Amino acid sequence: MEQKEKKIVVIKKGEEHKNQKPQPKKESIFTPLIGKRIVIQGKQGSIFEGELVDFIEKFFILKNARIIGSKRIAETELLYIHQGNISHLHIEPINVIDRTENKKSSS
């Protein structure tokens, strides 16, 4: 009686076996923001504006971005911002209302 030879297959981390079904990308709370223009307030006061391309391993990736500092504004095609440097973020506003415009003077 012949014995069948057992085959050992080694799969490296990050690779898939040819018979293994690809795993779907894990949904993130930031997924609905992909493709939209967002504004990010940095912890140090800088403001970042741009189109969110993706959120990978704690990095927000923006394209056609602006970095607004206290003295200068820089524009770049691609920007990576680490999650730890962010105070808050939101979608770019549709409308901005100046609240001081409607106040009556106290004279």
User: pLDDT (tens digit, 9 = 90+) per residue, 5-37?
Assistant: 776 766 666 666 566 666 666 778 888 899 999
Residue 11: predicted pLDDT: 65
**3-state secondary structure string across the chain:** CCCCCCCCCCCCCCCCCCCCCCCCCCCCCCHHHCCCEEEEEECCCCEEEEEEEEEECCEEEEEEEEEECCCCEEEEEEEEEEHHHEEEEEECCCCCCCCCCCCCCCC
End-to-end CA distance of the chain: 108
Domains of the chain, by residue range, sit at 31-91
pLDDT, tens digit (0-9, with 9 covering 90-100), for 51-98: 999 999 899 999 999 999 999 999 999 999 999 999 999 999 899 899
CATH class of 31-91: mainly beta
Report yes or no: 49 and 37 within 8 Å, Cβ to Cβ: yes
Closest C-alpha to 67, from 56, 53, 81: 81
